[in-house]
Structure 1
Amino acid sequence: MQPIDLSLDRTLFIFGNQTLSLGHVLLAAGLFFGIVLLVFISGLRRAGRRAEEADARMMALIAAQTEMKGRIATLADVFGTRQSELNQSINQRIDGMTHRIGTSITEQTKATHENLRRLQERLAVIDTAQSNIQSLAKDMAGLQSILSNKQTRGAFGQSRMETIIADGLPMGAYAFQTTLSNGSRPDCTIRMPNDQPVLVIDAKFPLEGWNAIRAAADPEKAKLASQQFRRDMEVHIRDIAGKYLIPGETQETAFLFVPSESIFAEIHEHFEAIVQRAHRARIVIVSPSLLMLSIQVIQAILRDARMREQAHLIQGEVVRLMEDLTRLDERVRKLHGHFLTTQKDVDDILISSDKLKRRGSRIEALDLAAAGPEPAKETKPFDNRLGQLKLRVVDED
C-alpha cells in the first residue's frame, strides 16, 4: 500500500491555466468554513436581537392588551351606563308616545263615533226626505190623475181657493156655493162691510186647453191649442160677467182664480189679449199669492169697519173713564188737604214735645236739696192740640 501524499503543494485540480493544490483547497475550505461560521454567528446574533425585539414587542403587546382590556372594561361600563340611560330614555319616550297614541286613539275614536252619529242623523234625515219625496211623487201622481178629470180638477181648484179664504177671513165673512138672485151659484162670495154688495170668486179655470198647449208635439199643434185656449178663456170670462156681475147684489168686479203661479205668469206673458179682455169685462185674474194678498186687504177693511162700528162704544167708555178720573182727582185733593192739616198739627205737637224735653232737662239739672220745688207749669195747650188732632182724625175717618 502506497502512502498518501499530504503535502500542501500537491496538485489536485487543473482548471485551464490554474492549478489548484491541496493548500489552496484547504485554504478555500477554511475560508468557507470561517465565512459560514461568521454568517452563523451573525445569524445567531440577529436571531437573539430579533428574539429580544420579539420579547419587547410581546411585552409591549401584552401591555397594550392589558391597557386595551382596561379600556374595553371602561368602555363596557360606559356603554352599559349609556345603554341603561338610553333604555330608560327610550322607555320614557315609548311610554309618552304610548300615552299620546292612546289619547289620540281615544280622541279619534270619540271623533269617529261623533261623525258616525252625525252620519246616522244625516242618513235618518235623508231617509225621511226620501220618504217625503216618495210620498210627494205619489201625491203628484194623484194630482195628475185629479187634473186629468174635469170635475175633479174643478174640485181641486175649488178646494185650494177655499183653503186660502178660510185661512185669511173669519167665519161669517164668506160663503161657498151660494145662490144668487138669477139662480147662478158662484164658487165663493165674500161679504163686504157697510152692507156693500158681495165679491164673487170663480175657481173653474179651463185647464184642458192649457194642458193641450203643453202636450203639443209641434209648433202647428201648439198654435191650434193656443187658439182653443184663447177661445175657452174668452167664453169663461163672458160667462162670469154675465152670471156673477149683478148690479146692486154683487161687486162690479169679480175674481177668476188660477190655481197655479206658473200658469198665471204664462197667461200674462203669452196671452196679453186675454188679460186685457178680462179687464174690460171687469174680471181680475188672480193667482194663489194674489188671492191671498187680496184676502189680507179685505181682512184689514173688515177689521177697520168693525173698529168704526165700535167707535161710539169706545168713546162712551172714554167719557166714563174721564168722569172717574175727575172724581179721583177731587178725592185726592181733599185727602191732600187733610194731610196738610194733619202735618201742621203734628208739627205743633213736635214743638210742644221739644219744649217739654227742654224743661225736663232743666228740672234734672236743678239741685232739689238746695232749692224748693218749682211749681209745675201748665201743659194744657199741648193736651188741647192732641185732643183736636184726635177729633180731626176721627172726623176724617
Structure 2
Amino acid sequence: MRDFPPRIGGVLCVPDWLLPLLVPVVAALAGGFLVLAFRPRGGGEGVALLADRMEALSDRLDQAVAQQNERLARSLADSADRTQESARRIHERLAVIDAARANIEALGGQVTTLAGILGNKQARGAFGEVQLRDMLADRLPAEGWAWQHPLSNGTRCDALIRLPFPPGPIAIDSKFPLEAWQALRAAPDDAARVQATRRLSADIRRHVDDVATKYIRPGETAEGALIFLPSEALHADLHALHGGLVQEAARRGVYLVSPGTLWAVLGAMRALMRDVRLRAEAQHLRLEVARLAEETGRLDRRVANLKRHFGEAQADMDQIGITAQKILGAAARIEAVEIDTPAPARAAE
C-alpha cells in the first residue's frame, strides 16, 4: 500500500487542504500538554500564568488560521481564474475545430457533386457549356459572341465568336467525349491501357471530323473552329500522348483549347474586336471631319457673301450720307437768302 501522507525524498508532504484541519488539533494538544505541565499544586499564580499563555497561544493560533484561510482563498481564486481561462481557450479551439469540420463537410459535398457531374455524360456536357459561357461573358462584349448560334447547314454550334473577315466568325464546340480518357487514367494494367488509348484516338478523330465538317463553313465562318476541353489535365494528356492527333486536327483547322489557353485566345480576340471597333470609330470620325470641313467651306462662302452685302450696304449708306449733306447745305443756303415780302394791298375804298 502507498504511504499517506505521501513522502518526497523522505520528507513528509502535507497537502494544502489538510493544514487548516491540523492546526486546531495541534493547538488542542499543545494546550493539554501545557495544562499538564503547569498544573498548579496549590498556588493561584500558576493558574493565572497558564491562562495568559493559553490566551496568547489562542490569539496566535487564530491569526495563523486566518492567514492560512486567506492564502487558501487566494489560491482557490487563482485556480478558478486559471480554470476559466483554460475553459475559454478550449471553447475557442472547439469553435475553430467545428468551423473546420463544417468546411470539410461542405468541401466533401462539393467534391461529391463534381464527381457526379463528371460521371454523368449529359451533366458533364452542361458543366462544360456553363464554364464556356461564363468565360465568354467575362472576356468578350455582349455583341461579340452568340450562344447556340444556328448555321446555314442546320446545325447549332455551342458558341460563335463574331469576328470580322478575315478571319471571320469562329465556332466553338464544348462536348468532347471523356469516357475513353477516364478509362485510360483508370486502366489497371498495360492491356487495358492500350485498349483505352486506341479508343481515345478513335474518339478524337471522330469528334474532330464532326467539328470540321459541321462548324467550318466557307464564307460563313472562319477557316478554323475550336474544341473546348473543360479540363487542363485532359489537354495536357492529349498533347503529351497524342501529339500527332492534335497536329492532324490543327491541319484540318480544328484546335483543342483548355480553360487556360481559351482565356488567352479570348484575350487576343477581345483586342482584335477593340481594334476593329476603333477602326470603325476612326472611319466615322473621318467622315464627320469631312462633313465638318464641307460645312466650314460653306460657312466661309456665306461669310464672304455677307461681307460683300455689308460692303454694298456701307456704300449705299455713304451715298445716302452725301445726299443728306447736300440737302442740308441747300436748306442752309435757302434759309440765308433775304427775300422782300410785298406790303399787303389796301382795301378798295
Task: Give the TM-score of the pair, scaled to structure 2.
Answer: 0.57
> In structure 2, what is the Cα distance between the partners aligned to 1:302 and 1:81?
106
Q: Does 1:237 align with 2:208?
A: yes
Counterpart of 1:260 (choices 225, 231, 234) is: 231
Q: CA deviation at 1:84?
A: 4.1
Residues 119 and 269 of structure 1, relative CA distance in 2, 3 Å threshold: same
- 1:158 paired residue among 129, 143, 147: 129
Q: Is 1:180 the equivalent of 2:155?
A: no
Q: Which amino acid in structure 2 is aligned with residue 287 of structure 1? A: S
Retained in 2: the 8 A contact 1:177–1:186? yes
For structure 1, the residue ranges without an aligned partner over 5 or more in a row are: 1-64, 318-397
Distance change in 2, residues 1:250/1:98 (3 Å): same
Correspondence for 2:247: 276
Once the two structures are TM-superposed, the CA of residue 197 in structure 1 deviates from its matched residue by 0.8
CA separation in 2, counterparts of 1:311 and 1:107?
77
Structure 2: unaligned runs, 5 residues or longer: 1-39, 290-349
- The letter for the 2-side match of 1:224 is Q
Match status 1:105 vs 2:80? yes
What displacement does 1:179 show? Answer: 2.7
Q: 1:175 to 1:133 in 2, by over 3 A?
A: same
Please give the per-residue CA displacement for 1:87-124, whole angstroms capped at 9, x wherever unaligned.
Answer: 52553354144224314413431441353144135314
Does the 8 A contact of 1:193 with 1:301 survive in 2? no
User: Conserved in 2, the CA contact under 8 Å of 1:278 and 1:284?
Assistant: yes
CA separation in 2, counterparts of 1:244 and 1:179? 10
Tell whether 2:90 aligns with 1:115. yes
Aligned to 2:67: 92
Q: What is the alpha-carbon distance in structure 2 between the residues aligned to residue 188 and residue 82 of structure 1?
A: 103
Q: Secondary structure of the residue that 2:230 maps to in structure 1?
A: coil
What does 1:218-233 align with in structure 2 at a 5 Å threshold? Answer: 218-233=189-204
Deviation at 1:243, TM superposition (A): 3.1
Measured in 1, the distance between the counterparts of 2:50 and 2:283 equals 117
Which stretch of the first structure deviates more once superposed, 202-211 or 153-162? 153-162
| Partner in structure 2 of residue 213 of structure 1 | 184
Contact between 1:194 and 1:305, CA under 8 Å: does it hold in 2?
no
Q: Distance in 2 between matches of 1:166 and 1:193?
A: 19
Answer with 1 or 2: which has the greater Rg.
1
Q: Identity percentage over the alignment? A: 32
Instruction: Flag the 1:117–1:253 CA change in 2: closer, same or farther, 3 A.
Output: same
Change (3 A) 1:175 1:118: same
Q: Root-mean-square deviation (CA), in Å? A: 3.9
CA contact (8 A) 2:226 2:256 kept: yes
1:257 Cα deviation after fit:
1.0
Partner of 1:350: none
Aligned to 1:28: none
Deviation at 1:161, TM superposition (A): 1.8
> 1:190 is matched with which residue?
161
Residue 56 of structure 1 corresponds to: none
Counterpart CA distance in 2 for 1:79 and 1:297 is 105
**Whole-Å separation in 2 of the counterparts to 1:293 and 1:268:** 18
Between the aligned partners of 1:243 and 1:109, the Cα distance in structure 2 is 74
Matches of 2:255 and 2:139 in 1, distance apart?
A: 19
Q: 1:143 to 1:239 in 2, by over 3 A?
A: closer
1:302 is matched with: 273
Give, in whole Å, the separation in 1 of the partners of 2:204 and 2:245: 7
